[in-house]
Chain A
Amino acid sequence: QKEVEQNSGPLSVPEGAIASLNCTYSDRGSQSFFWYRQYSGKSPELIMSIYSNGDKEDGRFTAQLNKASQYVSLLIRDSQPSDSATYLCYRGGNQFYFGTGTSLTVIP
């Protein structure tokens, strides 16, 4: 079983809609999670981190962590075409705990 699994997509949403990206993890002891965004031809950039159960909001982005169910999600409200990218879920630690990424396309 992979440490981190993401719904592979691709995911398409119309502009202005909410995009929901999900990730599950296998290690119950995991403490920190990160969402990265990768535009085509660029390296990933960190957009959100979450350490505690519940929601964390930053502008149009909300990260949700549920340790009991072992999932973490990223919601993007009022999606914009500029949000079109691949989103990577990462379980913090000293090893490679990345999901394979979910490709999101926001249709104008």
Chain B
Amino acid sequence: GAVVSQHPSRVICKSGTSVKIECRSLDFQATTMFWYRQFPKQSLMLMATSNEGSKATYEQGVEKDKFLINHASLTLSTLTVTSAHPEDSSFYICSANSGGLAGEQYFGPGTRLTVT
């Protein structure tokens, strides 16, 4: 199957700093990527849909100025958590859709963010 990577896998940062998370599709071109956040024992929550070459579409309640998404190429999308606070500590996951007819999602391994 297709491979999606995420970097870093784990990050600890101080409150007020910014953190960038990269999501790469390694063996296919992803026209659409999705960013999710998941708190312990809760469901996967979609934060935004990232389309190559255009602005991301954010879900209701997600601050677009705080969670900056850039999908600069067909293989890379980045999520930047700006001015991170302890409540932003979570598991951030990306997925990529190759745009094929089946429309399956390929998930990255996730990034665990801890803000101290």
A43 at the interface (CB under 8 A from B): yes
Interface residues of A in 40-62 (CB under 8 A from B): 41-46, 49, 51
Alpha-carbon gap, A38 to B31, bound state (A): 24
Which of the candidate stretches A12-20, A21-29, A72-80, A88-96 sits at the interface with the other chain? A88-96
Interface footprint category on A: 20 to 34
Q: Which residues of A contact B110 (CB under 8 A)?
A: 42-43
Q: Which residues of A contact B103 (CB under 8 A)?
A: 32, 92-94
14 A-B residue pairings within 8 Å (CB atoms): A32-B102, A34-B105, A41-B91, A44-B44, A44-B93, A46-B1, A46-B106, A49-B102, A88-B44, A92-B104, A94-B99, A96-B46, A98-B44, A101-B43
Binding site for B on A (CB under 8 A): 31-32, 34, 36, 38, 41-46, 49, 51, 88, 90, 92-96, 98, 100-101
